[in-house]
Structure formats: structure tokens, C-alpha cells
């Protein structure tokens, strides 16, 4: 095994001090339970950077329900084995006291972009995300950092944070990886029963239906949402949290498609909350 596992901030800082001046450092921040969606981030980082760091840290402060935090899948040993053949140089897996000495009184918060969608449904979630990502950027000081488009609002919020705070890192968005039946890969999928797993495919079908309507010339967000909701109704046990048409850059709800946009959905399938989104544009369907 060639991947090095480091657990402390001092270790990773010392290690990277000898690397950063002669190599492009890429960072893939994760909460573990790695799957092919993460592999796509790592592959992209591997192609574009000389040195790849994967961080694994289940970040308590971004969970607004403690049960969700407790249940989040943890599999460090398996994750390290997963990283090795992908050519990861370092796995940084700090424990909670390493990342958050108590008391911690400083947080990073992006306003406005976090008012809607997951920001409204999960109060405090994005503050937890931006705080930990900013800490990871300070610790690793990567040249490039890779985030999945499945968490499109998170990606928009992180882009805004680095822009507003002049953080010298290039943020790279990586397209969603889907199962053959369209379900977006997520660590949470492993909580789904067989029946829930089947029901969950309705999310992608609903997004596709709206994208098809947009491709056929429908520009009214209200009508696109109705189209998606008609498909969602095929699975009455899937409980909708939100469905919105938003602009691609800031993820703010829009009324009319006039440029690149996303249709974003969040829904409960059993006890599991899933999110997904799809790119749409006024004239033709946007690709992922
Ligand atoms: O997307 C995730 O897995 C998490 O939100 C992140 C970016 C690793 C921060 O904890």
C-alpha cells in the first residue's frame, strides 16, 4: 500500500511543506464511505495535479440532526483501501478533537446563497460545511479542490466563499455519477431498503422529464416544476422536501429560464433524505 494516512494537522503540514513548492496539490474533501462519485473526483484530481490529498472527516457541525450524524456510515479502513489503487498520495483523517479544539467560537458563513434549498431545510448545514472546508483549505493549502455537482448548492457556496475571502484555490466542479437507472451516487444510498432504492429512481426520472420539457421550449419554471412533480407523483411514498428551478451560478430560484440553470430536488425516501439536480438551458438540454 502506498497511500500515507495522516491523523494530525502538524503531520500533514510538515509533509506538505516539502511538496507544495514543487508540485500542484489537489484536495478532495470527503466524509468517507467512498464510492464511484468520489472516485470521479479523485481521478480528475489525479489527472490535473501532481499530488492528491483526500480528506476523510465526518463533520458533526454540518449535521442539523444528531441522529443523522450518528448514523452516517464510517469505514476508514475500507476507504483507505479504496484510495490506494486510485493513486491518492495522502489520506488526511483527523479526529474530532484535532479539527475542533473546544471551545470553538469561529465559523465561516456565506449568506444569501444559503437562504434557499438545503439551506432552508437544514439550518446551519452550510455554515458547518464552509467552516470545515475553510479549515481544510488552511491546513492543506491546495492549489485545486474538487467537489461534486450533485451537491450543486454546496459547490456554489464554496466557490463564493473562496471568491469573497480571496482564498488562493481553484474550485473544480465534477459531474454527477449515476447508477445505470439514473440514481445519483450518494453515501446515503446504502441506508435504502431494496424497495426504497427502487422508489428513489423517480427523482432522476422527474428531473429528466422537466429537462425534456425545457429542451422542447418550455421556459416557465412553474410549468417545469409541474412536469417534474407529475412524475414524482408516480411514487406517492416519496416525500418532497423541495423542487426548484434555480440559476446555475448562485442557485437562486428563478421564474423563467433565460440562461444556464439547474432543477434541484430533495426528497425523503423512507428515513433517508436524498438530493439530486440536473442542468437545463432554455434552448436545449444541458449536459452533465
Ligand atoms: O460533500 C461532503 O462530503 C461534505 O459536505 C464536505 C465537503 C466534505 C465537508 O464536510
Centre of ligand 1 to C-alpha 29, Å, is: 6
- Segment 15-32 shows an average pLDDT of 96
143 is catalytic: no
- Segment 104-132 shows an average pLDDT of 97
Centre of ligand 1 to C-alpha 137, Å, is: 13
- Segment 191-204 shows an average pLDDT of 98
Half-sphere exposure of 56 (CA within 13 A, CB side): 28
The residues pairing with 52 across neighbouring beta strands, listed in sequence order, are 26
- Helices and strands in the chain: count of H runs, count of E runs: 10, 9
pLDDT-based confidence at residue 188 (cuts at 50, 70, 90): very high
Q: What is the pLDDT of residue 1?
A: 63
- Pick the catalytic residue from 15, 21, 35, 38: 38
Centre of ligand 1 to C-alpha 213, Å, is: 32
Q: What is the pLDDT of residue 86?
A: 98
Nearest to 280 by CA among 223, 197, 201: 223
pLDDT in tens, 233-260: 999 999 999 999 999 999 999 999 999 9
Q: What is the pLDDT of residue 103?
A: 87
Question: Nearest 5°: CA angle at 164, between 162 and 167?
Answer: 35
Torsion of CA 122, 155, 249, 106, to 10 degrees: 60
Q: Which atom of ligand 1 is nearest to the CA of 58?
A: 10
Q: What is the pLDDT of residue 286?
A: 44
- DSSP calls for 191-234: G--HHHHHHHHHHHHHHHHHHHHHHTT--BHHHHHHHHHHHHTT
Ligand 1 first shell, C-beta below 6 A: 29-31, 59, 62, 129, 132-133, 151, 154
Q: What is the pLDDT of residue 228?
A: 98
CB atoms within 10 A of CB 194: 7
Centre of ligand 1 to C-alpha 139, Å, is: 16
Backbone angles phi, psi at 234, to 5 degrees: -65, -20
The residues pairing with 53 across neighbouring beta strands, listed in sequence order, are 27, 90
Does residue 287 register a pLDDT over 80?
Answer: no
- Give whole-number Cα distances, 23 to 48, 58, 85, 140, 193, in Å: 11, 28, 20, 13, 44
- DSSP reduced 3-state for 260: coil
Nearest-angstrom CA–CA distance, 221 and 244: 8
Q: Which atom of ligand 1 is nearest to the CA of 57?
A: 10
Nearest-angstrom CA–CA distance, 286 and 101: 44
Q: What is the pLDDT of residue 285?
A: 42
pTM recorded for the entire structure: 0.96
Q: What is the pLDDT of residue 288?
A: 52
pLDDT-based confidence at residue 180 (cuts at 50, 70, 90): very high
Percent of the chain with pLDDT over 70: 98
pLDDT in tens, 37-81: 999 999 999 999 999 999 999 999 999 889 899 999 999 999 999
Q: Which atom of ligand 1 is nearest to the CA of 62?
A: 10
Amino acid at each position: 500500500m502506498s497511500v500515507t494516512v495522516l491523523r494530525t494537522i502538524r503531520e500533514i503540514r510538515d509533509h506538505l511543506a516539502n511538496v507544495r513548492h514543487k508540485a500542484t496539490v489537489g484536495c478532495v474533501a470527503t466524509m468517507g464511505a467512498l464510492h464511484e462519485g468520489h472516485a470521479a473526483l479523485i481521478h480528475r484530481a489525479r489527472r490535473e495535479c501532481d499530488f492528491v490529498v483526500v480528506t476523510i472527516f465526518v463533520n458533526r457541525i454540518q449535521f442539523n440532526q444528531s441522529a443523522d450524524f450518528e448514523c452516517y456510515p464510517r469505514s476508514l479502513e475500507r476507504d483507505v483501501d479504496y484510495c490506494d489503487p486510485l493513486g491518492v498520495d495522502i489520506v488526511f483523517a483527523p479526529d474530532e478533537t484535532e479539527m475542533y479544539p473546544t471551545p470553538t467560537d469561529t465559523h465561516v458563513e456565506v449568506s444569501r446563497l444559503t437562504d434557499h434549498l438545503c439551506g432552508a431545510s437544514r439550518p446551519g448545514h452550510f455554515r458547518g460545511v464552509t467552516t470545515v472546508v475553510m479549515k481544510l483549505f488552511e491546513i492543506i493549502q491546495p492549489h485545486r479542490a474538487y467537489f461534486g455537482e450533485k451537491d450543486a448548492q454546496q459547490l456554489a457556496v464554496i466557490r463564493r466563499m473562496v471568491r469573497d475571502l480571496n482564498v488562493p484555490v481553484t474550485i473544480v466542479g465534477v459531474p454527477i455519477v449515476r447508477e445505470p437507472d439514473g440514481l445519483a451516487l450518494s453515501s446515503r444510498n446504502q441506508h435504502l431498503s431494496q424497495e426504497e432504492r427502487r422508489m428513489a429512481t423517480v427523482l432522476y426520472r422527474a428531473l429528466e422529464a422537466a429537462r425534456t420539457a425545457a429542451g422542447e421550449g418550455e421556459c416557465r419554471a412553474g410549468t417545469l416544476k409541474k412536469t417534474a412533480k407529475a412524475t414524482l407523483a408516480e411514487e406517492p411514498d416519496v416525500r418532497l422536501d423541495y423542487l426548484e428551478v434555480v440559476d446555475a451560478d448562485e442557485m437562486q430560484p428563478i421564474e423563467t429560464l433565460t440562461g444556464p440553470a439547474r432543477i434541484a430536488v430533495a426528497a425523503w425516501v423512507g428515513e433517508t433524505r436524498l438530493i439530486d439536480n440536473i442542468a437545463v438551458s432554455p434552448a436545449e438540454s444541458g449536459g452533465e
